[in-house]
């Protein structure tokens, strides 16, 4: 996140949007083709050959990644400048800390005797609380919670606590319902393709209705698509319910990845340069924790017959995410929709008739 916004400095506003979309498109494309290539190798050669190929590719990818990072770092002076500023800030902080430590070590004989007679318990408790609040982990969270974009960040993180994706839990449930593996693979491919399409659509919407409103329309469009998954819970025919579940999940990827890009860009725009690394680290750790919670819920609710409970829980969390983001929009813009424009659209056919 930090590198992208530094590279796009002094560039037209749309450059950052296009860079974010391109990076996400590359990521989703790799996620689409990786299992396809692995499956072909397993089918036509062997499982061992697939494992060896993936291992070699990972080793080569590390070397290629470092070469590309060095090339970008050397080719863009802004990255060097921001690194030098960060080093100078840390050096200044160390000097200030050493200075404050020097003053704290002044002989106690110069202090007033009444100060020495303060209760030890209260000072000890205060010291423990201060030490706890000054822990790096707690300090990072305090900084994160102070940001103007904390609600969009929490909303995005909640979307990671879901089984409504073509992961292991949903795949196992679909196989239990009798869906063939090739059908699941096709549905997964369609889902990934829709996600890639979102990276093309996002810059267009963002340029017309702004980043904030693109996020609002995206999260609620995802919510609407997931209503099909909720409806599948009440369908008694297993195959029909499974296809409804796959359709709802696949169609929701359009809103999901546009919302992801919207929140990322808001963090890039509204988080101070000195705080971006810390805020980004907290955001990633929160998303990873909630992603882990998905598997823990899969362990707790392990019976495939109870998969509907995970579906409803995931839908409720998406609803909570949409509400949190809507509250953020209302706090920033003081309204959610232009109702006067909607009234004009409604009244226009009546006037024309």
* pLDDT of 109: 45
As a dihedral over the C-alpha atoms of residue 117, residue 119, residue 124, residue 127, rounded to 10 degrees, the angle is: -70
> Distance between CA 249 and CA 52 in Å, rounded?
33
For residue 186, give the 3-state DSSP assignment. Answer: helix
Checking if the pLDDT of 231 tops 80, the result is yes
Checking if the pLDDT of 50 tops 60, the result is yes
Query: What is the mean predicted confidence (pLDDT) over 69-84?
Result: 75
Checking if the pLDDT of 152 tops 90, the result is yes
> In which band, very low, low, confident or very high, does the pLDDT at 84 lie, cut at 50, 70 and 90?
low
Give me 346's structure tokens.
């409604």
- Pairwise pLDDT comparison (153 vs 78), residue with the higher score: 153
Global pTM?
0.81
> Distance between CA 243 and CA 70 in Å, rounded?
47
Query: What is the mean predicted confidence (pLDDT) over 247-254?
Result: 96
> Distance between CA 101 and CA 190 in Å, rounded?
61
Superfamily holding 141-352 = MFS general substrate transporter like domains (1.20.1250.20)
Give me 112's structure tokens.
């007033």
Phi, psi of 106 (to 5 degrees): -65, 135
What are the extents of the domains in the chain? 1-99, 141-352
């Amino acid at each position: 996140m930090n590198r992208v916004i530094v590279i796009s400095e002094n560039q037209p506003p749309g450059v950052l949007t296009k860079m974010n979309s391109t990076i996400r498109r590359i990521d989703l494309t790799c996620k689409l083709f990786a299992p396809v290539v692995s499956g072909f190798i397993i089918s036509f050669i062997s499982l061992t050959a697939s494992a060896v190929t993936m291992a070699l590719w990972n080793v080569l990818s590390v070397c290629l990644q470092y070469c590309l990072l060095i090339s970008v770092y050397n080719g863009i002076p802004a990255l060097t400048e921001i690194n030098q500023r960060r080093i100078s800030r840390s050096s200044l902080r160390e000097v200030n800390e050493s200075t404050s430590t020097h003053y704290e070590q002044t002989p106690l004989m110069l202090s007033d005797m009444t100060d020495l007679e303060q209760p030890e318990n209260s000072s000890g408790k205060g010291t423990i609380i201060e030490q706890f609040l000054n822990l790096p982990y707690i300090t990072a969270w305090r900084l994160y919670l102070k940001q103007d974009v904390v609600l969009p960040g929490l909303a995005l993180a909640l979307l990671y606590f879901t089984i409504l994706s073509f992961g292991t839990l949903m795949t196992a449930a679909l196989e239990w319902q009798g869906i063939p593996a090739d059908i699941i693979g096709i549905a997964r491919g369609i889902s990934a393709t829709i996600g890639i399409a979102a990276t093309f659509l996002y810059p267009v919407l963002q340029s017309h209705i702004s980043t904030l409103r693109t996020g609002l329309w995206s999260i609620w469009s995802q919510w609407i698509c997931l209503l099909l998954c909720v409806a599948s819970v009440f369908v008694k025919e297993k195959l029909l319910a499974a296809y409804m579940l796959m359709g709802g999940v696949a169609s929701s990827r359009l809103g999901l990845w546009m919302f992801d890009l919207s929140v990322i860009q808001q963090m890039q725009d509204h988080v101070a340069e000195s705080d971006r690394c810390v805020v980004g680290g907290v955001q990633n750790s929160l998303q990873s924790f909630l992603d882990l919670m998905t598997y823990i819920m899969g362990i707790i609710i392990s019976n495939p017959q109870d998969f509907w409970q995970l579906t409803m829980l995931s839908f409720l969390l998406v609803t909570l995410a949409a509400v949190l983001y809507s509250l953020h929009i209302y706090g920033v813009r003081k309204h959610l929709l232009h109702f006067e424009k909607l009234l004009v659209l409604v009244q226009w056919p009546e006037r024309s008739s």
